[in-house]
């Protein structure tokens, strides 16, 4: 009932997701010049430090990538790995966990499997850049559900405010990025 203080969406199964993590994953291959070239042309970001060592070596140690590029390429899989994202989205086109699928199907469970919600709104991302990724870096990452809270909208109806975090680091165990996303799940 709108305005009631009793939680309608939050339950023990939802609470059990908080803190749940994926296994540590490794991106297929390493950061390469062709991926950087395609990304900087696509966004566009024609900063020469992405390809000119004379401009980047002194400050960054080598050429760098756009900082958030890793967030978008880390999930690439080897060519022989079946595309599980296709299967997840074919099963449920509104899935909120397909982006986290792995070769063995081990991903964070969808909020929809444990709460009576069916509508997702991406509420934004916060990206903390600790170090620029470099060409040749091997990328590792791990995601987790950070927090899930039940709130009420102006209309008095409940929704879940869901926070997910993914950390990225390189082969030297240097943390590159921390990406925190917030979503709103409604019945």
List the chain pLDDT tens, one digit each, 187 residues: 455 555 589 999 999 999 999 999 999 999 998 988 888 888 888 888 888 888 887 788 888 888 888 888 888 888 888 777 677 777 776 665 544 444 455 677 778 888 888 888 889 999 999 998 988 999 999 999 999 999 999 999 999 999 999 999 999 999 999 999 999 999 9
Cα 78 to Cα 13, 69, 94, 96, 100: the distances in Å are 34, 18, 25, 23, 15
Task: Say which residues have a Cβ less than 8 Å from residue 16's Cβ, sequence separation at least 6.
Answer: 114
Rounded Cα–Cα distance for residues 185 and 181 (Å): 13
Q: Which domains does the chain have, with CATH numbers?
A: 12-186 (3.10.129.10)
pLDDT at 98: 47
Considering the entire predicted model, what is its pTM?
0.82
pLDDT at 53: 83
């Amino acid at each position: 009932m709108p305005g009631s203080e009793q939680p309608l969406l939050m339950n023990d199964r939802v609470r059990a997701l908080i803190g749940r993590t994926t296994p540590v994953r490794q991106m297929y291959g390493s950061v390469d010049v062709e991926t950087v070239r395609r990304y900087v042309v696509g966004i566009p970001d024609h900063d020469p430090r992405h390809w000119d060592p004379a401009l980047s070596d002194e400050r960054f140690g080598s050429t760098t990538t756009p900082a958030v590029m890793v967030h978008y390429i880390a999930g690439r899989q080897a060519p022989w790995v079946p595309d599980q994202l296709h299967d997840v989205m074919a099963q449920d086109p509104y899935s909120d966990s397909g982006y986290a699928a792995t070769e063995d199907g081990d991903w964070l469970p969808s909020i929809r499997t444990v709460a009576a919600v069916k509508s997702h709104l991406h509420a934004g991302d916060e990206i903390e850049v600790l170090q620029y990724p470099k060409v040749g870096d091997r990328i590792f990452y791990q995601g987790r559900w950070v927090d899930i809270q039940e709130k009420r909208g102006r209309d008095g109806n409940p929704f879940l405010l869901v926070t997910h975090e993914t950390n990225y680091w390189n082969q030297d165990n240097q943390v590159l990025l921390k990406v925190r996303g917030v979503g709103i799940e409604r019945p």
